Amino acid sequence: MRSLLALATAATLTACAASTSSPDPDIAPTPTVATARIVTTEGGTVTAGAMNIDLDVRLLVTGTPDQAWTALSGVYQELGIPLSVNDAATKTLGNTGWRVRRSIGRVPAQRYLDCGSSGTIQNAETYQLTLSIVSNVKPNPRGGSIVTTALSGTGRNPITSSSADVRCVSTGDLELRIREMVERGIVR
């Protein structure tokens, strides 16, 4: 049974890693999740999950770095993310300790984060979240700019007395939304 589980886990990890290749080296792949349900010879089941986690997602925008930087500040304001990092010299801004519940920019947090689930409810929907959301703008050697966003965090059940945090990982959707909002801000 142990060798079957090891083989299935290896296959799952290989499939997950293979699904994240990116044809363009300037664009990092978004996180992917792979889950396998394995039926043992005794009829029991084992679920194995694997996740490829990228700490930053790099996406291209058409404007200059100065235009993207100006638009990025407005994006964070529109999303309601208070800034604890705002460095114009490195064109980096964000928040490294933002505490939030239920939503980010009027969108349910579970769309942007996977913190596991408690039965049928996603933890990102009900847990107290502590997030790090940091974006950076750099020039793209091929023209335009590259907006890099890193999203990570933890969640804690506000109802129980447990002090255990669960790790939350990005679905990649907030990074895409930030890029789209920056692009819209540049075009204005």
**How do residues 50-76 score in pLDDT, each as one tens digit?**
554 545 677 888 889 999 999 999 999
Whole-angstrom Cα distance, residue 10 to residue 50?
Answer: 10
Q: How many CB atoms lie within 10 A of CB 102?
A: 14
Domains present along the chain, CATH in parentheses: 1-53 (no CATH), 55-187 (3.30.530.50)
Instruction: Answer whether 166's CB lies under 8 Å from 154's CB.
Output: yes
Residue 64: per-residue pLDDT: 93
**Mean pLDDT (whole number) for 41-51:** 62
Burial class (CB in 10 A: 0-12, 13-18, 19+), 85: middle
Percent of the chain at pLDDT exceeding 70: 70
The strand pair at 128-139 and 145-156 is best described as antiparallel
Residue 167: per-residue pLDDT: 92
68 compared with 18, residue with greater pLDDT: 68
Q: How many CB atoms lie within 10 A of CB 164?
A: 8
Q: Is pLDDT above 60 for 47? A: no
The strand pair at 166-170 and 117-118 is best described as unpaired
pLDDT digits over 123-133, tens only?
999 999 999 99
Residue 29: per-residue pLDDT: 45
Q: Is pLDDT above 70 for 30? A: no
pTM summary value: 0.70
